[in-house]
Structures are given as structure tokens and as C-alpha cells.
């Protein structure tokens, strides 16, 4: 089973302070890009894998999704999601690595920044592909493989003093331990092509991909985001089941 760092007290306390936890979707700089990649929500059966505090579930319901199910492994996050939630949203506690999803039960599977915690993503991708109806969408974001690859992730500088991000071990998929909000957080590095070929292998067709960087307006409001133009932090992917 995947490390459930979100139920670690220190991690949870730190995570709860992030803008994306306090302000929800609008607190996540990549949200506008994700939203632009989503289909029209009205009437869709939506499944959110790694739903956290349920911000996306509530957003989907507000846009007249037909049904919304949020799944997460973290008891702490689900507890808060349920507090704030509409009873029309179904929240389930489950380990995404051992999840079975009813075939043909979803029009949209959404997952924000969850897949890079999973040691074995392939079985889940098979479930997702089976769960989607023909024409159904998978939309997910993960940490960029350039971010997860190095054993010692940290900025350096080039000879002009411009930030640079040293990448190594890129083709070696597997766990990477970092100290982020708490010591010993384990993320699973996968190369870009590992993600993309997994989609293809399960019969999903890539429809859009984005290595996220800030708009000029975002960078003006929060200059630290400019680092992401040097080395984007997130990859956003949408795919369709043909």
C-alpha cells in the first residue's frame, strides 16, 4: 500500500495551510488551465480520485454534474470534506492502488496531484479505462517528472545566476523520498513517457497535455511562480476513451 502521508499530523497541518487548501481550486495556480481542459460538466457522472478536501467534487456538483464520487485514502481529509459537503456527493475511503470501479460507471475521471503517490499506477489506469464510457474523459495532474526525478531536488544557478533545476536518474522510475511539509514523504517518479504510454496501453487517447507555467498576470501577482517557466512543476493531461 502507498504511504498515506496525508494522515501524518505534521504533514496534514502543513498541507492545511497551503493556499490550495485554504482557498480551494482558486488557490491552486494551475486550476485555470485544468478547468479549460475539462468537458462541460452538466449531466456527467464524475469520479475524483484523491479528492482531498472535496473542493473539486463540490465544484462539479455546482456545475450540475449528475453524480459525484470522491475517493481518498486520507481519513483526515475525508472528514473535512464530509463536514463541508453536500449530501449529494458520495465520499469513499479507499487505497487507489487496490480500487475496483464499476465498468461504464463514469463520464469523467478526475485526479489532481495524486497519481505520483501510487507505487502501482497501472492497475488503477486499467480500472479507469474500464470505468469510462466511450467518449468519457480522464483528466489528471501530476508533479512533473523533471521535479520527481532527482534524488536531491533543489534549484541551482547557471553562469548568469539564473535558476536551473538539475535533473538526474530520470529514466529510473521508482520512489523518491523528500522532506516536503514533513520528513520522509515518498513520491513515485515516473518519466513522462511512462505516463503517456500507460494511457495508450489502456485504450485512452491523449487529447491535450500541458506543462504548467504561470500567465503574465499570475507572475506579476506572485513573482515566485516565474521559477515554473524554468522548470514546470506540474503536468496536466486529458485523454478520452474512444
Q: Of 19, 48, 209, 38, which Cα lies nearest the Cα of 115?
A: 48
Please give the DSSP secondary-structure letter assigned to residue 38.
S
17, 32, 168, 222: residue in contact with its own copies (rule CB under 8 A):
168
Residue with Cβ nearer its own copies (117 or 234): 234
Residue with Cβ nearer its own copies (63 or 231): 231
Cα separation, 137 vs 121, in Å, equals: 17
Residue with Cβ nearer its own copies (87 or 161): 161
- The interface region with its own copies, picked from 18-26, 56-64, 107-115, 190-198 by CB under 8 A, is 190-198
- The interface region with its own copies, picked from 9-17, 31-39, 77-85, 163-171 by CB under 8 A, is 163-171
Q: Give first-to-last CA distance, the chain, whole Å.
A: 31
166, 174, 183, 223: residue in contact with its own copies (rule CB under 8 A):
166
Cβ-based burial of 117 (10 A; exposed 0-12, middle 13-18, buried ≥19): buried
Cα separation, 135 vs 156, in Å, equals: 44
Site for its own copies, residues 202 to 241, rule: CB under 8 A: 205-211, 213, 228-232, 235
Strands 204-211 and 132-143, by their bridges, are unpaired
Cell 493556499 sits on residue: 19
Say what angle helices 192-201 and 122-131 make with each other, to 10 degrees: 40
179 binds its own copies (CB under 8 A): no
Size of the residue set binding its own copies (CB under 8 A): 39
120 binds its own copies (CB under 8 A): no
Contact positions vs its own copies (CB under 8 A): 146, 150-152, 156, 158-160, 162-172, 191-193, 196-197, 200, 205-211, 213, 228-232, 235
Amino acid at each position: 500500500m502507498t504511504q498515506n502521508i496525508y494522515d501524518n499530523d505534521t504533514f496534514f497541518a502543513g498541507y492545511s495551510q497551503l493556499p490550495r487548501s485554504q482557498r480551494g481550486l482558486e488557490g491552486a495556480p494551475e486550476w485555470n488551465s485544468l478547468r479549460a481542459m475539462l468537458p462541460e460538466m452538466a449531466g456527467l457522472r464524475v469520479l475524483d480520485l484523491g479528492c482531498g478536501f472535496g473542493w473539486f467534487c463540490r465544484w462539479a456538483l455546482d456545475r450540475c454534474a449528475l453524480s459525484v464520487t470522491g475517493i481518498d485514502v486520507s481519513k483526515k481529509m475525508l472528514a473535512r470534506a464530509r463536514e463541508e459537503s453536500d449530501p449529494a456527493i458520495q465520499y469513499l475511503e479507499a487505497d487507489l492502488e487496490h480500487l475496483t470501479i464499476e465498468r461504464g460507471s463514469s463520464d469523467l475521471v478526475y485526479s489532481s496531484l495524486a497519481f505520483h503517490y501510487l507505487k502501482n499506477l497501472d492497475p488503477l489506469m486499467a480500472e479507469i479505462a474500464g470505468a469510462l464510457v466511450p467518449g468519457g474523459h480522464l483528466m489528471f495532474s501530476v508533479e512533473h517528472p523533471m521535479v520527481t526525478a532527482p534524488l536531491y531536488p533543489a534549484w541551482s544557478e547557471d553562469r548568469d545566476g539564473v535558476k536551473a533545476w538539475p535533473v538526474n536518474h530520470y529514466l529510473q522510475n521508482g520512489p523518491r523520498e523528500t522532506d516536503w511539509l514533513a520528513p520522509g514523504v515518498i513520491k513515485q517518479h515516473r518519466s513522462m513517457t511512462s505516463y503517456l504510454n500507460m494511457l495508450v496501453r489502456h485504450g485512452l487517447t491523449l487529447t491535450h497535455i500541458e506543462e504548467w507555467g504561470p500567465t503574465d498576470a499570475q507572475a506579476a501577482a506572485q513573482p515566485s511562480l516565474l521559477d515554473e517557466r524554468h522548470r514546470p512543476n506540474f503536468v496536466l493531461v486529458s485523454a478520452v476513451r474512444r
